[in-house]
Amino acid sequence: MDRKEFTRVVREVLQSLPEEFAAHMAHAEVVIDDDPSAEQIRSVGLDPGRDTLFGLYEGVPLPERGDAAGTLPDKISIFYRPIVDACASPAEIREEIRITVLHEIAHFFGIDDGDLDDWGY
Q: How many domains does the chain have?
A: 1
What is the per-residue pLDDT for 49? 87
Q: Is the pLDDT of residue 69 over 60?
A: no
Q: Which of 58, 20, 67 is nearest to 37 (CA)?
A: 58
Amino acid at 91: A
Q: Is the pLDDT of residue 70 over 70?
A: no
Q: Is the pLDDT of residue 48 over 70?
A: yes
**The CATH number of the domain where 41 resides is what?**
3.30.2010.20
Range of the structural domain that residue 98 is part of: 3-118
pLDDT tens for each residue of 2-41 = 999 999 999 999 999 888 888 888 888 999 999 999 999 9
Asked if 74 contacts 85 with a C-beta cutoff of 8 angstroms, the reply is no
pTM: 0.89
